[in-house]
Amino acid sequence: MFTDKQLRAVLFIGLLAIARAHDMGFQNVAFSRGTLLRNSRKAVQSLDSGVQSNCVRICGERCVRMGLDQSNRYAKLDLDEETLIKEQQHVLVAYKMRPKYPIAVDYVSTAAHFAAESSTGTNVNVCTTDDHTMSVDAVVYEVDEDEELMKIAYPVKLFDRNITDGRAMVCSILTLVIGNNQGMGDVEYGKIHDIFIPPNFLRLFDGPAVDIRHMWRVLGRETDDYDPIVGKTEWNGGFVVGTIIKPKLGLRPKEFAEAAYQFRLGGDFLKNDEPQGNQTFCPMRTVIPIVVEAMKRAMAETGRRVFFSANITADDPDEMIARGKYVLGQFDHLAEQVSLLVDGYVAGPTAVTTSRRNFPRQYLHYHRAGHGAVTSPQTQRGYTALVLSKISRMLGASGIHVGTMGYGKMESEKSDKDIVYMLERDIAQGPYYKQDWAGMLPTTGIISGGMNAVRMVGFFENLTHANVIMTCGGGSYGHVDGPAEGATSCRQAWLCWKAGEDPIEYAKKHRQYARAFISFPGDADKLFPNWRTELKGLHDITGEEGKVVA
């Protein structure tokens, strides 16, 4: 079946593998005849194929599988980052990368292979490579194996452009910087922790068509002094009190509209949750008209304008456009009070761009459902939440969910406030790069995930400002006195922080905020241990609410 030469090669490979296993601590190694035969056949097929990435060599006393060493071409460690940034000819990407030993040979050659796979390279030298091809190579320009840090410079010429208008594409960037390199055999993991887009290239992306000033204007707030600079704690527009209709699924049209009406009596911004759209038990063509009527009724009673964020996410761009047109048509002269929600992570850049380009007058609401699969600190591949947020701004999101910075129920840290700063400022420092947004309109952080009035003062202290949209679903509909009072309690929490008052003292004078303590007693016990004594007898509070009986 095999030639003598092939059998000798297979035997040699097998002995080396056993020796390697012994060195690694596997003392009791046993191979069945069938396993050895199957592996032998694979090895012979690999030898016969002549593919360089599967060739075998001896390195000291170990056996490794290695690919073409591309470090001479794809690693240029003498490049200066400051010069690369100044020249504006490269997108710079900082990864945390770990080679997969013993398949990988060393850090630099693995990084070079990563850059090659992310741009112009393959696993063998090809005869079609010319000088121009090599001029657009992505190259590794900095490594620190101890920190698992790898930085790659991607020439902007690599990235695809529209044939219709010459604009740049986010999907093209993602295809290269976070594409095939995520499945490489010699890489254990590679995750993007920061990305720098040169300002001249950044201008080729859509960016937001409208920003938070649009919402503030519609809500009747002044916006003249909007100036997102470090240290400024309050811009004129201020805090937007929002919610998500709860429960997130299951409400029929009449119940959905009534839930919307109740919140609108106290809040500013009401949204579909990310899976709500056109379910058979709550068809869009049935629910939207009565939501409009509920909005009109609430505005007539309060004299205040409110926003509604409608989910138009779909697989088909034509379906998204149809949904958007239908919603705006139903709202008619109130259309400027409509935000269009897109599940931007699961539906992708095409969906976000579809909304951005077809409805440029609407506030574009980017929901990031599913992002944790790649952004979570527990995930070593993909990219971070900060990188996702930068992508959303480039695509044109007016606002994106950014978590709760450690103050809600979702996985997050206090340092996530840097995500908000990156979104809202014209120049912001990331983990590795300072990004100049070249005048691109800001994207506002949307806070959601377990927030309520009791948690808010600490949240604002950490963020240092309140120019965000807070969507408290449970925090509104879970308030003991209903969603309107829940919304009011959130607004009072903001005003408490803004005034610099002690939360307990402020609660004594503000009923809705005080009763948030009995609505969420677990949070209150943790954050304000003396609240039961201090608020007892005020605002119908007994101090016994929510006590855990031993």
* DSSP assignments along 88-122, one per residue: T-EEEEEEEEEE-TTTS--HHHHHHHHHHHTTT--
Q: To which H or E segment does residue 286 belong?
A: helix 284-302
Whole-model pTM: value is 0.85
Three-state SS at 131? helix
pLDDT of residue 409: 84
pLDDT of residue 446: 96
Q: How far apart are CA 309 and CA 477, in angstroms?
A: 18
pLDDT of residue 100: 96
Q: How far apart are CA 264 and CA 365, in angstroms?
A: 19
Q: How far apart are CA 467 and CA 228, in angstroms?
A: 9
Three-state SS at 240? strand
pLDDT of residue 221: 85
pLDDT of residue 223: 64
Length of the chain: 550
pLDDT of residue 512: 98
Q: How far apart are CA 441 and CA 425, in angstroms?
A: 9
Per-residue confidence of the chain (550 residues) as pLDDT tens digits?
A: 445 544 444 444 454 444 444 443 433 333 333 333 334 434 434 433 433 333 333 333 333 344 578 899 999 999 999 999 999 999 999 999 999 999 998 999 999 999 999 999 988 888 999 999 999 999 999 999 999 999 999 999 999 999 999 999 999 999 999 999 999 999 999 999 999 999 999 999 999 999 999 999 999 987 655 554 443 444 557 899 999 999 999 999 999 999 999 999 999 999 988 889 999 999 999 999 999 999 999 999 999 999 999 999 999 999 999 999 999 999 999 999 999 999 999 999 999 999 999 999 999 999 999 999 999 999 999 999 999 999 999 999 999 999 998 888 878 888 899 999 999 999 999 999 999 999 999 999 999 999 999 999 999 999 999 999 999 999 999 999 999 999 999 999 999 999 999 999 999 999 999 999 999 999 999 999 999 999 999 999 998 988 865 5
- Domains defined along the chain, listed by start: 73-203 (3.30.70.150), 212-535 (3.20.20.110)
Q: Which of 113, 367, 417, 465 is catalytic?
A: 367
pLDDT of residue 411: 84
Q: Which of 113, 151, 193, 246 is catalytic?
A: 246
Q: How far apart are CA 373 and CA 191, in angstroms?
A: 12
pLDDT of residue 19: 42
pLDDT of residue 54: 38
508 labelled catalytic: no
367 labelled catalytic: yes
